[in-house]
Structure 1
Amino acid sequence: MDAVALAQAMCDHDALCPTVTDRVTRDILLVQGRRVGIIANYGAGYEHIDLAAAREAGLAVTNTPDVLTEATADIAITLMLMAMRRAAEGERELRAGDWTGWRPTHLVGQSLDGKLLGLVGFGRIARAVARRAQAFGMRIAYHSRRPAADMPADAYYADLGALAQQADVLSLHAPGGAETRHMVDAALLAVMPAHAVLVNTGRGSLVDEGALAEALAERRIAAAGLDVYENEPHVHPTLIDLPNVVLLPHLGSATIEARTAMGMKVADNLDRFFAGEPLLDPVA
């Protein structure tokens, strides 16, 4: 739905259930003649909703946390494995008919075993990734505003740059918003080791895609694995053509189990709102 359709929906219906790719702006939320009383978002992230305008309009806003944790952690590990082992490069070569057989130095990648995984953020998904990574023999470190006593990690870094200098894999799990926009920029990419891999299953806005494309093209870092993008569904054109980046179409929560549970969360929040009961997952 475009902005016009969303604004009309605000006037025609009692609830609006957007997805993370719908931009629910101030103009939409404050449209004259609005009837909607609740924005029940289908997704955990809600940066696409103007919460200040929602509060001004007296609208309730909910999201769907918790239920997509394991599915998104699976995708983070998938991206790590694909990028480290150059799996996407190999599949493209084989499908194109260019594979000439096994060779000792052909598409040699890196093992996860013994590598330092740097987690940016320490929420539910990052913790689930840490548990999985430990099964691969990875060492775990993390960056956040403050240390967490229950984080399954070997080290805490208060400074993101210091973690980026040490991590073999840097995996992003921070929230979106103005404070974290382009936290991975040219300066941060410049301090990462040349063999390092960047993985993003958090928010597309966390990464300066232009700076990342340059770093990958110049082999200043080894590879990247991305599931989210700054201007979805549009991806930086240079990234599309680079062999050393794995690009997935926002599959983090794309399991039958997770997507069904997300839908049920939306329905449960709607039921509670219209019954006048406390909401399960209020964000505004």
Structure 2
Amino acid sequence: MPSKRLSVTVTRRLPDAVETRMRELFDVKLRDDDTPMTSADLVAAMQTCDVLVPTVTDDINAKVIGQAGDRLKLIASYGAGVDHIDVQTARQRGILVSNTPGVVADDTADMTMALILAVTRRIPEGLALMQSGDWNGWAPTAMMGGRIAGRRLGILGMGRVGQAVARRARAFGMQVHYNNRRRLRPEVEDQLDATWWESLDQMVARMDIISVNCPHTPATFHLMNARRLKLMKKDAVIVNTARGGVIDENALTRLLRSGDIAGAGLDVYENGTDVNPRLRELKNVVLLPHMGSATLEGRIEMGEKVLLNIKTFQDGHRPPDLVVPSML
């Protein structure tokens, strides 16, 4: 190991086990405050460290990267998504970017199924009724939702998370369909019992439930735009545990309010914490605070990947989870 330890700056609070191990391995600056850094804070950090460990709440854009110091050689992001980082500009400046893929696929897939059940079985409405104290007992026609067994689930994006969702959906008796940039290998399709659609429009128009599980890239921004959302059946439901920008949130809100889409379950939002206030008012919508990956096990595994990426880089090798522009 080199005599001089790498200088690492972490932008948010991480699990204690991860921060402790970082302290053992590197010259690390940790946060006491868990609020997101400002752009000025990020620039100051990037001018004085060898490695920056940001999260999805940090906007590492071209302007910020342009002010980075010569020391900064690696942005080891804590999370799978890298749409908050201008990877192209970073590479042009000689700064490597790594992420933590695959760790929270099962956690996110669990949350996807939870949202599907919450919307179709009206779980939040039942919870609100109980908390209000207005429940007067069981009735044959009260709080009726819908059965998910037998429904057609259209998965948009069949990577690690999409496939994990497919396995769970099959266990619930759902029929799995998918649209992906590339078709899965025949043996994987067979294992998942999944039907591929080359045309997203054709799939969307026929599904009972749409699950968004693709990354946010320039190609997927507003992939579910107003025109495509209008193709959905009136009794269909859409769930998003991927990235908010994949869905045109304003268009979705209008269609939910007009009854042209039956319901939605959202864990992510187009404008971060600035959620459309009309969306909050709808009873046929379940909103969660971006908690799809929020398990202790998953967050520690994410940290372990960050540690491995930094340690491998320190040892003079390519980080195992290196992100390159061609992947985006």
The TM-score bracket by the shorter chain reads over 0.9
**Structure-to-structure mapping, 1:31-50, within 5 angstroms:** 31=67, 33-50=69-86
CA distance in structure 2 between the partners assigned to 1:27 and 1:98 by the alignment: 54
The aligned runs of 1:101-250 (5 Å cut-off) are 101-148=137-184, 149=186, 150-151=188-189, 152-250=192-290
| 3-state secondary structure, aligned to 1:252 | coil
TM-fit CA distance, 1:32: 5.5
Compare 151-160 and 12-21 and name the one that shifted more.
151-160
- Mapped to 1, the partners of 2:166 and 2:227 lie a distance apart of 26
Aligned equivalents of 1:249 and 1:207: distance in 2? 17
CA-CA distance at 1:34 after TM superposition: 4.0
Q: Which amino acid aligns with 1:136?
A: F
Aligned to 1:75: 111
2:292 counterpart of 1:252: yes
**Residue 167 of structure 1: CA displacement?**
0.7
Q: CA deviation at 1:95?
A: 1.1
**CA deviation vs aligned residue, 1:238-265 (integer Å, no higher than 9, x gap):** 1111111111111111111110000010
- Note the alpha carbon deviations across 1:59-98, whole angstroms, 9 max, x for none: 0100000111110100000000001101011111221223
User: How many Å separate the matches in 1 of 2:141 and 2:57?
Assistant: 42
Q: 1:56 aligns with which of 92, 101, 105?
A: 92
Q: Deviation digits for residues 191-218 of structure 1, max 9, x if unmatched?
A: 1111111000111110011011111111
Code of the aligned partner of 2:300: T
> What is the CA deviation profile of residues 15-49 of structure 1, one whole-angstrom value per residue up to 9, with x for unaligned ones?
11110111001121121634211000000000110
**Which of 1 and 2 has greater Rg?**
2
Distance 2:238 2:278 in 1: 16
Letter in 2 for 1:111: R
- Whether the 8 Å contact between 1:207 and 1:230 is mirrored in structure 2 is yes
How far does the alpha carbon of each residue in 1:220-276 deviate from its partner, in whole angstroms, 9 at most, with x for none?
A: 111100111111122111111111111111111111111000001001101111111
Deviation digits for residues 98-134 of structure 1 (CA, Å, limit 9, x no counterpart): 3222122222111111000100111011101010011
Indicate if the aligned counterparts of 1:142 and 1:153 stay in contact, CA closer than 8 A.
Answer: no
Q: Give the gaps of 5 or more residues in structure 2.
A: 1-36
TM-score, structure 2 length as denominator? Answer: 0.84
Letter in 2 for 1:140: V
Code of the residue aligned with 2:282 in structure 1: it is L
1:4 aligns with 2:18: no
1:281 & 1:47 partners in 2: Cα distance? 15
Identical-pair percentage: 43
1:264 is aligned to 304
Give the Cα–Cα distance (whole angstroms) in 2 for the partners of residues 141 and 187 of structure 1. Answer: 21
Asked if 1 retains the 8 angstrom alpha-carbon contact of 2:43 and 2:68, the reply is no
Q: Deviations over 1:112-165 (max 9, x none)?
A: 110001001110111010100111100101012332121313411111111111
In structure 2, the residue corresponding to 1:118 is in which secondary structure?
A: strand
Identify the residue that residue 31 of structure 2 maps to in structure 1: none
Say whether residues 1:30 and 2:45 are aligned partners.
no
C-alpha separation in 2, matches of 1:36 and 1:142: 40
Q: Secondary structure at the match of 2:268?
A: coil
Distance (Å, rounded) in 2 between the aligned partners of 1:132 and 1:97: 34
The one-letter code matched in structure 2 to 1:3 is S
Aligned residue for 1:166, secondary structure, equals coil
Aligned residue identity for 1:107: M
Instruction: Give the Cα separation in 1 of the matches to 2:154 and 2:68.
Output: 47
Secondary structure, aligned partner of 2:269: coil
Residues 209 and 236 of structure 1 are in contact (CA less than 8 Å); yes or no, is this contact kept in structure 2?
A: yes
Secondary structure of the structure 2 residue equivalent to 1:83: helix
1:91-106 to structure 2, matched below 5 A, reads 91-106=127-142
Q: 1:152-188 CA distances to partner (integer Å, 9 max, x unpaired)?
A: 1341111111111111110011121221111112211
TM-score, scaled to structure 1: 0.97
Find the residue that maps to 2:75 and give its secondary structure. strand
